[in-house]
Amino acid sequence: MEERHRQLRVIEALLFSAKTPLPAQIIGEHIPELEDVTVLLADLAAHYSERGVNLINVAGGWTFRTAPDLAPVLRREAEVQRKLSRAALETLAIEADHQPVTRIEIEQIRGVTVNKGTLDILFDADWIAPRGRRRTPGRPVTWVTTDAFLNHFGLSETDDLPGIEELKAAGLLDLSTPPLIIAEAAQDFADEDEDGEVFEFEREEDKE
């Protein structure tokens, strides 16, 4: 019993000191004698479920977050320097639902031109990142969402996201969506670099 108590304290200390969510595997490395750390993580999550902070699984890792119902108490009046525009929100939703996706593909889904600055805002927020390039004329950049995006929205994985149709039904998106006509995407992204090409992303070279 004392050993289990010590292990729980170790896990708590690791989680409180971590700047980002910790995967169970990393936590387990600090308690090598423990065969299955997820059992203790589940126990801790249950213990904190009714407390002021909750232990949750986001972005593939575990972290403490303040209880959602206490948000009104903790919310501070602060000036938001840069709010996401409706175009940015729609672009982000499409990114999450169709990733990896190019800017041209986003434009075909939205039915309007995507301003380059919209992608820059999402990129600067660390919510999207370049994945590679399509093996199509112009070699357009493909984009995916990041762990920082999952962490910010409290998601464990992208499968937890509502789809485009659900967002539209909820009135969160207003897309005049034409048929999705993306010839290169019809190959189920088979045209992407199979060797996992790594490249330096430079905004001025974004010539989609």
CA angle 191, 196, 202 (to 5 degrees): 95
* Radius of gyration of the CA atoms of the chain, in A: 21
Tens digit of pLDDT for each residue in 157-204? 777 676 666 555 655 555 554 433 333 333 333 334 433 333 333 343
Q: Are strands 128-133 and 61-66 parallel, antiparallel or unpaired?
A: unpaired
Total-model pTM: 0.49
Tokens encoding 96: 């999450």
Give 140 or 202, the one with higher predicted confidence.
Answer: 140
**Helix/strand/coil for 67:** coil
Q: Which of 13-17, 106-110, 188-192 has the lowest mean pLDDT?
A: 188-192
Tally Cβ neighbours within 10 Å of residue 176.
Answer: 7
Distance, CA of 165 to CA of 163 (rounded, Å): 5
HSE value, Cβ hemisphere, 13 Å, CA-based, for 197? 15
Question: What pLDDT shows up at residue 54?
Answer: 92
Residue 150: which region, alpha, beta or left (left: phi > 0; alpha: psi -120 to 50)? alpha
Q: Which of 73-77, 108-112, 136-140 has the lowest mean pLDDT?
A: 73-77
Distance, CA of 93 to CA of 161 (rounded, Å): 9
The answer on pLDDT for 80 being more than 80 is: no
Tens digit of pLDDT for each residue in 42-63? 999 999 998 999 999 887 899 9
Question: What pLDDT shows up at residue 44?
Answer: 92
- Segment 62-66 mean pLDDT: 90
Question: What pLDDT shows up at residue 190?
Answer: 36
- At 174, the amino acid letter reads D
For the chain, list the domains and their CATH numbers. 2-68 (1.10.10.10), 86-200 (1.10.10.10)
Q: Give bridge partners of residue 149 from the DSSP assignment.
A: none
